[in-house]
A and B are shown apart, each in its own frame.
Chain A
Amino acid sequence: SQKIEQNSEALNIQEGKTATLTCNYTNYSPAYLQWYRQDPGRGPVFLLLIRENEKEKRKERLKVTFDTTLKQSLFHITASQPADSATYLCALAGGFQKLVFGTGTRLLVSP
């Protein structure tokens, strides 16, 4: 069956370090992969989209990679700040136009 896996344990890092979150998937051939940020009590907020033919995408301090051979996406936040603390969700979209979300990974950046 189709599966999207994100680390369910929280990632704790120190301010200024690079946070790396992983999104692995099986039995999927996504055409697009999106990353969202979700704060407690709020809806997800779109961050980045990467297409299957793109290896890497950057936006300010954010970088996303997409390896369709490994079936994995990595999400990096460089020079992390306490304000980056949130849950980060990856979402895959295949040919049927439906976005399927992973369970999310909670990031905690301590000063």
Chain B
Amino acid sequence: EAGVVQSPRYKIIEKKQPVAFWCNPISGHNTLYWYRQNLGQGPELLIRYENEEAVDDSQLPKDRFSAERLKGVDSTLKIQPAELGDSAVYLCASSLDPGLAYNEQFFGPGTRLTVL
């Protein structure tokens, strides 16, 4: 069975440019997460989806970040415009049951974003 798929794996852009990341979760997983991981830090939650609904986006910088999960399957995270401080690894994860804190999360390989 395929794991969580993310693309692209790497992205280099200049500041003020837009960028988008795509994630396809494990089939049947209703919950999808986007995390940001800075160097030497643990992942920090940006947004959590239950099916199509964003149930926790409190940490998403809404002035420049947006996300969508149409049809409750794959998801896109967008940054527009990107800033130097957005350089990080963006991780997507999914889990089976809706929002249960004890569920293990399955992570994709991440997209390493470098903003110049």
Which positions in A face B, CB cutoff 8 Å? 4, 8, 31-32, 34, 41-46, 49, 51, 89, 91, 93-104
Contacts and interface: CB of A to CB of B under 8 A. Distances in A.
B104 A102 contact: no
Interface string B98-113: 0111101111111000
B14 interface: no
A101 B4 contact: no
A101 B101 contact: no
Nearest to A31: B101
Interface stretch (B37-45, B62-70, B71-79, B80-88): B37-45
Central interface residue in A4, A8, A101, by most chain B CB within 10 Å: A101
Contacts of A51: 102
Contacts of B91: 43-44
21 contacts: A31-B101, A32-B102, A41-B109, A42-B110, A43-B93, A43-B109, A44-B91, A44-B105, A45-B107, A46-B105, A51-B102, A89-B43, A94-B101, A95-B101, A96-B101, A97-B56, A97-B101, A99-B105, A101-B44, A103-B42, A104-B42
Contact of A43 (B42, B45, B110): B110
Central interface residue in A41, A43, A51, A94, by most chain B CB within 10 Å: A43
Contacts, number: 60
Majority secondary structure, B binding face: loop
B106 A99 contact: no
B48 interface: yes
B105 A97 contact: no
Interface residues of B, number: 22
A93 B101 contact: yes
A101 B107 CA distance: 14
A98 B109 contact: no
A80 to B, nearest CB: 22
Contact of B109 (A4, A42, A49, A95): A42
Nearest to A104: B42
Contacts of B104: 34, 46, 49
A98 B48 contact: yes
B4 A43 contact: yes
